[in-house]
Amino acid sequence: MKDALRGKTAVVTGGTRGIGRAIALEFAERGADLLLTYRGNEAAAEECRRLLSAYDVRAEFLRGDAADPAHAEAALARAKEAFGHADILVNNAGITRDKLLLRMSAADFDEIIRADLSGAFYMTRAFAPLMTKRRAGRIVNIASVVGLRGNPGQVNYAAAKAGLIGMTLATAKELGSRGITVNAVAPGYIATDMTEGLPAAQKAAMTEAISLKRAGTPTDVAKAVAFFASDDASYITGQVLCVDGGIIL
């Protein structure tokens, strides 16, 4: 699969940590140039820059808040300036603010919707015209099995990810005639910084519920994203691929 994406440019939001970083490295392995956005962790961005320096690709970085529509326009401008185009958009940026419903404030709910759902809308709206002009493009949204099955303490996150799945289906129908595919990858329990802080008992219970009896890795998710971004998936759109080890069964 080396060089399978050579000559392509990929934009990955939240691209310097966890799943986003794994996606960036998988794309770099396949030869894609990169624009990675991140919210504010400069140390993570520098580490990602160091890792990507081992590959024969160009990597640009842009700091900004995915919940701000101006950030999407800034990302579009940077992609045009650096590469002239964007072939792949991965809407990965997201945060969590887990609380039980009766303890969840309006701010807790709204913050997740803005970051995890509105941010993907802003980026898709910004980059779709650029892809439309070229009559080609790949958009991959990072959803979650929580958006399909729900999860206690994650009303806000489940709502955002379910909305992202709905947005995937609608945009796939709208953009298909322009040569643009839109798909979603729905990870299950993935071992990342975000899940590392969970109580040991909770992690053990989730692992037990997984058919494969292990947590997934960011690379497991990245390979699924790379498939949707590749020519191998050129006749696949509007699909949701669960990368969850069978937890949703």
| 14-38: average pLDDT | 97
Q: Which pLDDT does position 2 carry in this prediction?
A: 80
pLDDT at 39 over 90: yes
**Which listed residue (38, 122, 157, 189) is catalytic?**
157
| 198-212: average pLDDT | 87
| 141-145: average pLDDT | 98
Instruction: Give me the chain's average pLDDT, please.
Output: 95
Residue 53: which pLDDT band, with cuts at 50, 70 and 90? very high
**59-114 confidence digits (pLDDT tens):** 999 999 999 999 999 999 999 999 999 999 999 999 999 999 999 999 999 999 99
pLDDT at 195 over 90: no
Percent of all residues in the chain with a pLDDT value above 90, rounded to a whole number = 91
> Is residue 18 packed enough to be buried (19+ CB in 10 Å), middle (13-18) or exposed (0-12)?
buried
Q: Which pLDDT does position 198 carry in this prediction?
A: 74
Measured distance CA(225)–CA(230) in Å, rounded: 9
Q: Are 44 and 38 in contact (CB under 8 A)?
A: yes
Residue 193: which pLDDT band, with cuts at 50, 70 and 90? confident
Active site residue 157: yes
DSSP calls for 137-189: EEEEEE--THHHH--TTBHHHHHHHHHHHHHHHHHHHHHGGGTEEEEEEEE-S
Tokens matching residue 16:
């310097």
pLDDT at 194 over 80: no
Measured distance CA(16)–CA(23) in Å, rounded: 9
Residue 187: which pLDDT band, with cuts at 50, 70 and 90? very high
Measured distance CA(140)–CA(182) in Å, rounded: 6
Measured distance CA(234)–CA(223) in Å, rounded: 16
Cα radius of gyration rounded to whole Å, the chain: 17
| 213-221: average pLDDT | 96
Tokens matching residue 121:
């809308």
Q: Which pLDDT does position 18 carry in this prediction?
A: 95
In terms of pLDDT, which residue wins out, 20 or 194?
Answer: 20
Buried b (16+ CB within 10 A) or exposed e, 168-199: bbebbeebeeeebbbbbbbbbbbbbeebeeee
pTM attached to this predicted model: 0.96
Q: Which pLDDT does position 227 carry in this prediction?
A: 98
| 227-248: average pLDDT | 97
Domains for the chain: give ranges and CATH numbers: 9-239 (3.40.50.720)
Residue 248: which pLDDT band, with cuts at 50, 70 and 90? confident
